Amino acid sequence: MKLRAGSTTLPVAEGRSSFAALVAGLGEPVPEVLSEDRTLPDGTGIRVYRRPSSSPDGPAVAFFHGGGWVFGDLDSHDTLCRGLARASGATIVAVGYRRAPEHPFPAALEDCVAATAWLASSDLGGGRLVVAGDSAGGNLAAAVALCARDAGEPEIAAQVLLYPMLVPPGCGDPHPGDSPLLTRAESHWFWQRYLPDGVAGAYATPGLAADLAGLPPTHLVLAGIDPLREEGLAFADALRAAGVPVTVREHEDLHHGFLLCTRELPAARAAIDEVGKALWATGR
């Protein structure tokens, strides 16, 4: 499967269009899930997903999309969020946070923290709050969980991190295998735009956090063909050492971003079903 779009070699606006065009053809439709676009008081756009038969006792999930903090939006991850809503019965709330390089760290995190706080006080879901995200969105989910722990609110029942982007290149163990949807060089390009002034603490780089105690139960999904694999495994080890319950599901033969590829990969559809069960069960 050759998925390269060359997005990082283009001007940012063109790169976003290239990424959007690439992702648009990867996912199969999930028409049975309902969605509604809303705007939060601070102007952040969100999209709420629910299947008609969703249980009122299901969790509310704040979902943060990937794309290296530069690409991606509510549309790029629409089929993934629909698939998660169908598989879990949860209410999925996708957050359209501000993107780099126009808005480097901490803008995206501030939007995600605010959206999670709003969700915690809303009437969506059945009282349990989960944070989730893929790739750079997994970074944001982990950072939101750290912020909530340090602030003492809101209470987060679980974090579900999908091949998360946790440390800048050079800060963790290297992985020689590039993925069709992410190379080590592209990862470095993304980090430079998110953190133009360099490393900025645990909220920017959760994989380097010195204290992980008190974080919620964690479900990690990793891909074997992924330059981020080792940092995900290292984060799982660090969480366990801090006493945090961790489940790791590694898909050795799949690549970074595979959950977006449900049109061509039956394994991606099966994996979304697994993640859906984790969203429902983790933190109960």
76 classed as catalytic: no
DSSP-based three-state secondary structure for 172: coil
- C-alpha 181: how far from chain center: 15
Q: Which one is catalytic: 175, 187, 226, 255?
A: 226
User: How many Cα atoms sit within 13 Å of 276 on the Cβ side?
Assistant: 22
Catalytic residue among 175, 251, 255, 256: 256
Of 28, 74, 72, give the one whose Cα is nearest residue 47.
Answer: 74
In eight-state DSSP terms, residue 60 is E
Q: Note whether 43 and 278 are within 8 A (CB).
A: no
Q: Is 135 a catalytic residue?
A: yes
Instruction: Check residue 148 and give left, alpha or beta (phi > 0: left; psi -120 to 50: alpha).
Output: alpha
Closest to 146 (Cα-Cα) out of 212, 54, 47, 197: 212
Is 226 a catalytic site residue?
yes
Distance CA 249, CA 233 (A): 10
Task: Please identify which of the residues 54, 88, 135, 179 carries the catalytic annotation.
Answer: 135
Q: Are 68 and 251 in contact (CB under 8 A)?
A: no
Structure tokens that stand for 87 in this block: 């598989």
Which residues are marked as active site? 135, 226, 256
